[in-house]
Chain A
Amino acid sequence: GQNIDQPTEMTATEGAIVQINCTYQTSGFNGLFWYQQHAGEAPTFLSYNVLDGLEEKGRFSSFLSRSKGYSYLLLKELQMKDSASYLCAVSDSNYQLIWGAGTKLIIKP
């Protein structure tokens, strides 16, 4: 079957760096997405990786290793507003999105 795994919850300190991991097993691969979702709101797009390597976008970076079925989202200089759930999703061979359950990130002052 198809499966996306990411930690349920993580805690980090304001100003620090946190890495949220995502591993996947899917039938085919057409890219991996990261979304941020604040409580009670719809998800917003953060990043897309389809080739191996690191994509940097401001304080957020996303890494992909297709051979390992692995990605991570790296958040630097954490701010309180970064407290949210982070969703990993993989586009499979049919371009259907397979969603992880999300990682709730708690930022402490």
Chain B
Amino acid sequence: GAVVSQHPSRVICKSGTSVKIECRSLDFQATTMFWYRQFPKQSLMLMATSNEGSKATYEQGVEKDKFLINHASLTLSTLTVTSAHPEDSSFYICSATGTGGSSPLHFGNGTRLTVT
């Protein structure tokens, strides 16, 4: 079945540094990729939607200059958390879908970010 690989699975960084998270679709072309964050015991919260070759669409309240998304190819999207702060500590999950509205979302395994 469709596989989405997300890396790294866990990262600890110091406040003020930047962290890049990669999301790859391994066996299908991901026309659209989504980035979510999830706080403990809460549901998924969509941060942004990215289509290959175009700028990401950010949800209300998500700072686009802080959470940089690049979707340079049909198999790779990256999320960079710039100047990370402790409140950015969260579980970040990417997902990808192929063409057609009935294509299910396939999720990466998530990245647990801890900012100290």
Contacts and interface: CB of A to CB of B under 8 A. Distances in A.
Interface of A: 30-31, 33, 35, 40-45, 48, 50, 87, 91, 95-97, 99-102
A48 B102 contact: yes
Contacts of A40: 91, 112
B40 to A, nearest CB: 9
12 contacts: A31-B101, A33-B105, A40-B112, A41-B109, A42-B108, A42-B110, A45-B105, A95-B101, A97-B46, A99-B43, A100-B43, A101-B42
A99 B44 contact: yes
Interface string B87-104: 000010100000001101
Contacts of B101: 30-31, 91, 95
A43 B96 CA distance: 12
A71 to B, nearest CB: 15
Contacts of A35: 105
